[in-house]
Amino acid sequence: MSVLIMTSLGDIVIDLYSNKCPLTCKNFLKLCKIKYYNGCLFHTVQKDFTAQTGDPTGTGAGGDSIYKFLYGEHARFFGDEIHLDLNHSKTGTVAMASGGENLNASQFYFTLRDDLEYLDGKHTVFGKIAEGFDTLTRINEAYVDAKNRPYKNIRIKQTYMLEDPFEDPPKLAEMILNASPEGKPKEEVEDDVRLEDDWVPMDEELGVKELEEVMREKEAHSSAVVLESIGDIPEAEVKPPDNVLFIRNLNPVTEDEDLHTIFSRFGTVISADVIRVVETGDSKCYAFVEFGNKEACEEAYEKMDNTLIDDRRIRVDFSQSVFKLWPQLRQKHSQKVEDRNKQHGGGEGYDMVFEGDERERRKKIHRRRSHGNKEGKRRHIDEVDDGRRRREREERDSREGEDEEDRRRRRRRSREEMRDGDRGEERLKLQRR
C-alpha cells in the first residue's frame, strides 16, 4: 500500500510495511484519510540526519493518534512495532517519532542519509520512500535556525491514499472531510519570524521595471524618515499640497502682485509669494502660487508652463514643498499633547514632564536649596565683617600700644634731661665757689 504526500517543496510517495506494522500503518493511513496532516510543518530538519513532521502545533510537542479520536483520551498513544529487519540503513526510511517507549501518536520522520543504525530498536520503522528523493534533498538543504527549525516554512499540503487495506471504523466516516482543509492547522503555534511556504523573493516575482519602482519607493520612504528625524519635514508620510504651483526662471523685477494678477484668471489665488533674500530683499527668481482648489492649480500648470512673463519664459511645476503644512501639523501635535495631559488628569501644564508629587518634591528641593544659598551668603558676609572688625581692633590696639611706649620714652627722656640739668647747675655752683 502507498501514500502520496504533497509538500510545499514537491511530492513524496511512501510504501508502507502494513503486514509487519499493522497498528502503525492503520494509524498513519486513517490520519491521512481525515486530512489530519494537511498544513503540518516540517518543524525539525537536521541536515543529513532526519526531517520530522506530523505535529499540528508545529512545536514538536503535540499530535494525537487516530485511536484517540475513535476511543478517547486514554488511547492517545499506541505501542511500538519494532522489527530488527526493518532498520535505518537507507535514506528515505519512514519511522515514528515517539516521545518514549510505546508513546507513538502522529509525528513521524524521514531519514536524510544512509547508515543511521543507532536509531534501530528505538523507533518503529513503518515505511520507505518510493518516489520523491529530489524533494527529500530539497528539504535536507533548507536553511534552519539553532533549533533546526527552517526559516522558510515547509508544509504538507495534501495527503492521498493510493491503497488502503484496512476497513474504516464506524466513527471514522464522521471525521472524513468532504473538502480538504487549506492553510495552517488551527492548533499551530504562531511564529512571525518565519517566511511562509508560498513566499517568493521579490526579484523572482516582479519584472525589472516593477522591481525598480518598488526599490525607488522604498528608497524614497527611507529618505523621508531621515528628513523627519533631522527636522526637515514634519512627518515621513507627509505629502505636498496639491493646490500649490512652483514657479521658476522669474525676472527679478516680477512682484507678488504681478503673479497674483496673472494666475487669478484660472481661479481663486490664496497667495503668490516671490522668494527673496532676507538681507537685501532681492528676488531669488522663483515663487509659490497657492490656489483655492486643485482644479485651478492643474489648469494653471497645463497652460502657464513656458509662457512669457516680464520677458522671461517661466517654468511651472507642482510644488514639492511642505513648508505651509508645518503650522497645522504643529497645531495638531499640540492638540494631541493637550488631550494626553487631560487623560493623565493634568491641568494646563505638561504633566508628562513632572507629574503630581514629583513636581511638588522638586519645588521643595528648589526652595531648600534657595534658602540654603541665602543663609550661606549671610554667613559669609558676617564672617567677612567679623574679620574686618578684628583687624581694625588689632590695628587700633597696636597704635595704642605704640602711643603708650612713645609717652614712656618721652617721660624717660624728660627725667634724664632734668637730672642732667640739675647736675649742670651743681657743677656751676661748685665752680663759682
Q: Give the start-end residues of each E strand in 187-311.
A: 244-248, 269-276, 283-291, 308-309
Residue 235: C-alpha distances to residues 64, 112, 137, 228, 377 (Å): 53, 53, 49, 6, 51
pLDDT in tens, 384-415: 667 777 777 777 776 666 666 776 777 777 66
Q: Which pLDDT belongs to residue 209?
A: 77
Indicate the SS3 state at residue 422: helix
Q: Which pLDDT belongs to residue 382?
A: 65
Max mean pLDDT range (62-76, 349-363, 408-422)? 62-76
Length of the chain counted residue by residue: 433
Q: Which pLDDT belongs to residue 115?
A: 92
Residue 273 buriedness (CB in 10 A; 0-12 / 13-18 / 19+):
middle
| 231 vs 157, more confident | 157
pLDDT in tens, 216-244: 777 776 765 665 565 555 555 567 788 88
Q: Say if residues 123 and 98 touch (Cβ distance below 8 Å).
A: yes
pLDDT in tens, 306-332: 999 999 999 998 877 655 654 555 555
pLDDT in tens, 357-378: 556 666 665 565 555 555 555 5
Q: By percentage, how much of the chain surpasses pLDDT 90? A: 44
Structural element, H or E, at residue 225: helix 208-229
Q: Say if residues 90 and 111 touch (Cβ distance below 8 Å).
A: yes
348 pLDDT band, cuts 50/70/90, is: very low
Q: What is the mean pLDDT of the chain?
A: 80
Instruction: Reply yes or no on whether the pLDDT at 189 is more than 80.
Output: no
Alpha-carbon gap, residue 56 to 38, rounded angstroms: 9
Q: Which pLDDT belongs to residue 347?
A: 46
Domains of the chain: 2-175 (2.40.100.10), 200-239 (no CATH), 244-321 (3.30.70.330)
